[in-house]
Structure 1
Amino acid sequence: MSMLALSGAIEAGLLFSLVALGVYISFRVLNFPDLTVDGSFPLGAAATAVAIVSGINPLLATLIGTGAGACAGFVSAYLNVRFRILNLLAGILTMVALYSINLRVMGRPNISLYGEETIFTPFDGLLGLGIWTNAVVLLAIAVAMKFAVDWFLATEIGLALRASGENPVMARAQSVDNDRMTLIGLTISNGLVGLAGSLFAQSQGVADVSMGIGTIVTGLAALIIGETLLGSLKVGWATLGCLAGALLYRFFIALALSAGFLGIQAQDLNLVTAVVVAVAVVLSRARRKHPLHLRTRLQRLFARPQGQKGA
């Protein structure tokens, strides 16, 4: 694998780690199977691209894309809590509607950002890292979002959100408004996905109406791989697993596509994705049967024997 391919894989992994964080909030914390992701990802990209082409500051354009994704999540949640539409169906309806909305927003199937100033532009000459500049910026953003999610889920609202997803009946008995938690959770979840789409468009130099196809599968794959490696009982480890899982997932994809002796080509990407997800699910189930996962092994490996206590 060339250095260019490796840097691209790391960039994509860091971008989709934000999707994995969003999927973690909806699927794991809130227990809401939200398929809005496939629509909110390109919506964030479309809103940001239109804003940048219109001359708006890239940072503000990124916030606009994030807000657009959050609005998409709010719509899905509102359909569920207000009209009692099945959660899975609510996400599908929003996702389908967003395809037309994204076309309306962009006015055409895609928008090129080549030659436009993006959020990465100021760092090109400042860091002097060449092809690794975008990866470093994305790493800083991904780590910041990881700690932001950790902090939020430890707040009073975050704890109520977790209780609502874990046991709605008990949460209601403790005066937690489950409908309100659904609205908050899906808004934040798709806000993170919208941010990922915004950064993806700026990193790749294009926003396309079809760029969201399979986003939910990628997010779930990263989430499952992370849980297999680090577990999911503690929020800090679970969110770290989202980052690690996304990086490993994209690395495996890039490695498979660059291995010429395997005969895998670009059109086989969906096949490789399905295989990676299937393997991740099998490993996840095996970890449940044998809960001595990687983190536990590392803790036992470096644990000090009882007879060797320090003075």
Structure 2
Amino acid sequence: MLDLLIPTIAQGLLWSLLALGVYITFRVLDIADLSVEGTFPLGAAVAATCITSGHSLVTAFVLAVLAGCVAGAVTGLLTTKLKIPALLSGILTMIGLYSINLRVMGRANLSLLGQTTIYSWGASAGLTEAQTTLAVGLIAALLVVAVVYWFFGTEIGLALRATGYNPQMSRAQGVNTDSMVILGLLLSNGLVALSGALVGQSNGFADAGMGVGTIVIGLASVIIGEVLFGTRSFKNCLISVVLGSIVYRLVIAIVLELGMPPNDLKLFTAILVAIALSLPLIQSKLRAASRLTGRAS
């Protein structure tokens, strides 16, 4: 059981950074940002290229996050300055990043076999691969949640949250909402790229197609976390997203153990997200039906 549980939780923690990035755009800014499907492999591509070129791990992670931030800023500029709808802006960025990822790696797939990654220290410490991944994922998730929570408690962070909640009121208070949208997309895609860099090193390769379906995975983690663990406060929301990512990975692991073909995973995830998104409506219908039944009796 532990052989399945530890790797699954570890992967859930690594992917939770992507879910936090999706949460910033989907819940805080109220924007559906599809550029994450390009910035996720971008983070992996930049990190893998740096590592195979002999650069340090610090350089690899810094450049991966910066690349994601730049991609997010491009989406923000397309949305705010050129007035292209946010959904279409994300699609344009995602399409453009596919070619950029190929340029960065020089090929469609870049192996990290035999390279020193962030997980290489585990063997010398006597840890298994799964335990090392779990430790790295836990540290990364805790640090990111702490930094995100701190940032959104600052004046700029509160202005960003206000922009997503009520743009008209924010503009009336003197907030530059365009700058806040760009900043939010920048931060979101920076986190997604960081997640891509960690997952790519965990997998042992970077691939130009590894971002397909990541937006659905992120949304599933956000929705599952909110439904199961609540949204009582902003801190609770961040923790719920991380736990939601772990639960999502556990669900995937369980259905695979039960015999679901791996080719059906994307379909299963889409159905799972659709059910989770419709839960509030289903709950309201059930409450209305129970009230009618109570009155009739």
TM-score by length of 1: 0.88
- 1:254 has 2:250 as partner: no
Residues 138 and 288 of structure 1, relative CA distance in 2, 3 Å threshold: farther
- 1:26 has 2:25 as partner: yes
- State the one-letter code of the partner of 1:190: N
- State the one-letter code of the partner of 1:118: T
Indicate the RMSD between aligned Cα atoms, in angstroms: 1.7
String of CA shifts for 1:31-87, please: whole Å, max 9, x gaps. Answer: 121111000000000000000000011122012111111111000001111111111
C-alpha separation in 2, matches of 1:154 and 1:265: 44
Residues 42 and 26 of structure 1, relative CA distance in 2, 3 Å threshold: same
String of CA shifts for 1:78-124, please: whole Å, max 9, x gaps. Answer: 11111111111111100011111111111100000011000121233
- Counterpart of 1:307 in structure 2 is none
Partner of residue 267 from structure 2, selected from 260, 267, 271: 271
- Report matched runs for 1:25-104 at 5 Å: 25-104=24-103
C-alpha separation in 1, matches of 2:268 and 2:67: 31
- Counterpart of 1:304 in structure 2 is none
Which shifted more, 126-135 or 13-22? 126-135
- Report matched runs for 1:1-311 at 5 Å: 3-126=2-125, 128-260=127-259, 264-286=260-282
C-alpha separation in 2, matches of 1:290 and 1:187: 40
C-alpha separation in 2, matches of 1:268 and 1:33: 24
TM-score by length of 2: 0.92
- How much has 1:287 moved relative to structure 2? 5.8
2:7 and 2:133 in contact (8 A); partners too: no
Q: What 5-or-longer segments of structure 1 have no aligned partner?
A: 292-311
Q: What 5-or-longer segments of structure 2 have no aligned partner?
A: 288-297
SS in 1 for 2:235: helix
**Equivalent residues, number:** 287
C-alpha separation in 1, matches of 2:26 and 2:168: 18
SS in 1 for 2:125: helix
- How much has 1:127 moved relative to structure 2? 5.8
Residues 85 and 9 of structure 1, relative CA distance in 2, 3 Å threshold: same
Report runs of 4+ in structure 1 exceeding 3 Å deviation. Answer: 2-5, 282-291
SS in 2 for 1:35: coil
C-alpha separation in 1, matches of 2:61 and 2:156: 26
String of CA shifts for 1:162-206, please: whole Å, max 9, x gaps. Answer: 111100110011110001101111100000000000001111101
- State the one-letter code of the partner of 2:6: S
C-alpha separation in 2, matches of 1:257 and 1:275: 16
C-alpha separation in 2, matches of 1:56 and 1:126: 23
SS in 2 for 1:116: coil
- How much has 1:284 moved relative to structure 2? 4.6
- How much has 1:223 moved relative to structure 2? 0.3
SS in 1 for 2:70: helix
- How much has 1:129 moved relative to structure 2? 4.8
- Counterpart of 2:295 in structure 1 is none
C-alpha separation in 1, matches of 2:35 and 2:129: 35
